[in-house]
Amino acid sequence: MSMRRREAADFPARLSVQENPCYEVRFVEQKELGFAAVDTGREKRQGFAEVVYGAGKTAEQIAEILKTLLAESEGNVMATRVDAQKARAVLAALPEAHYDEVSRIVYVERKAQCEDAAHRILVLTAGTSDIPVAEEAVLTARLMGNDVRTIYDVGVAGIHRLLAHKEELMSANVVIVVAGMEGALASVVGGLVARPVIAVPTSVGYGASFHGLTALLSMLNSCATGVAVVNIDNGFGAGAMASRINQTR
């Protein structure tokens, strides 16, 4: 039997959970809280603990999930989309936690961000109104261990503001572009840099912006190569994706 055929024949065996120690059964690691099944094995599988989506949960539920994650993991933990009133209650139950009002993230930081100029994430916004979504991406990526820098309010209405930061643009390993209105900034940046661009449409705008749909469709139809798009206002998704790209060696 040829080497190629022998490798093909062995392929199913090499994927066997029972026979391959590399495939430890971490997929069933969870802790039942009654109102939530906490994925306690996610840090081992993916490098970062399960992130709590705070919208729709009570402060008590958020605090209990975060406590479970702190007990079952070693790194940072976080909850997104937490309003200020709910955050105060979470912090009262979890004194070691912090709250960022702009990004609306509750977090416990046990590992500091990495300073690494060669693997830096750059976050841009078209306007000042896009900053809350951008800050969700920034804090997410930082908590996941990345060196993150920001340049805000450099939209296409004054393109010279963007071009003044040429050196920072070209040295970034991943660029996140956050823009509402027509969302044109993502295409402009995609045409300038050689690194991956993650575009985040925001709901900033009015009338024909359709709560971010116009920016989303504009970014999806970009003719610039290397531009990928996340959902409207999904700063967390952009930060997490940028982290995975940035930490791939």
pLDDT in tens, 115-146: 776 689 999 999 999 999 999 999 999 999 99
Instruction: Report which of residues 147 and 11 the model is more confident about.
Output: 147
The conformation of residue 212, written as its DSSP 8-state character, comes to: G
pLDDT given at position 115? 76
| Whether residue 209 sits in one domain with residue 104 | no
At residue 83, does pLDDT exceed 80? Answer: yes
What pLDDT does 7 receive? 43
Structural domain contains residue 225? yes
Do 138 and 158 lie in a common domain? yes
- Domain co-membership, 160 together with 86: no
Whether residues 141 and 205 share a domain: the answer is yes
The number of domains in the chain is 2
Q: Domain range holding 145?
A: 117-246
pLDDT digits (tens, 9 = 90+) for 33-73: 899 999 999 999 999 999 999 999 999 999 999 999 999 99
Domain boundary among 85, 108, 131: 108
For residue 1, being part of any structural domain is answered with: no
Residues 236 and 177 placed together within one structural domain of the fold: yes
Q: Which residue has the tokens 């050196």?
A: 167
| Residue 210 shares a structural domain with residue 144 | yes
Q: Which residue has the tokens 């531009």?
A: 227
Report the CATH number at residue 158: 3.40.50.1970
* Residue 220 covered by a domain: yes
Mean pLDDT on 146-173: 95
- Residue 231: inside a domain, yes or no? yes
Q: Where are the alpha helices (DSSP H) in 108-226?
A: 131-143, 159-163, 166-171, 185-190, 213-220
The pLDDT confidence band at residue 19, using thresholds 50, 70 and 90, is low
Q: Are residues 149 and 77 in the same domain?
A: no
Of residues 12 and 208, more confidence is placed in 208
Specify the range with the lowest mean pLDDT, choosing from 13-17, 112-116, 209-213: 13-17
pTM assigned to the model: 0.86
List phi, psi (to 5°) of 86: -65, -35
Of 81, 108, 135, which residue constitutes the final position of a domain? 108
Interval 194-236: pLDDT, tens:
999 999 999 999 999 999 999 999 999 999 999 999 999 999 9
Neighbours of 165 (CB within 10 A): 15
User: What pLDDT was estimated at residue 9?
Assistant: 43
Question: Distance between CA 237 and CA 198 in Å, rounded?
Answer: 10
How would you list the strands of the sheet with 174-179, edge to edge?
147-151, 120-125, 174-179, 197-201, 227-229
Burial letters for 147-161: b for 16+ Cβ neighbours within 10 Å, e otherwise? bbebbbbbbbeeeee
> Does 101 lie in the same domain as 54?
yes
Q: Around Cβ 220, how many Cβ atoms within 10 Å?
A: 14
Q: Are residues 143 and 163 in the same domain?
A: yes
7-11, 27-31, 41-45, 59-63 — which is least confidently predicted?
7-11
Q: Per the domain annotation, does 241 fall within a domain?
A: yes
Q: Please give the mean pLDDT across all residues of the chain.
A: 89
The band of 114, judged by pLDDT with boundaries at 50, 70 and 90, is confident
22 is a domain residue: no
Q: Are strands 120-125 and 147-151 parallel, antiparallel or unpaired?
A: parallel
In this structure, are 95 and 195 located in the same domain? no
Cα 69 to Cα 130: distance, rounded to the nearest angstrom = 31
Q: Is residue 17 part of a domain?
A: no
Looking at the DSSP assignment, which residues form a beta bridge with residue 176? 123, 198
- Does the residue 5 lie in any domain? no
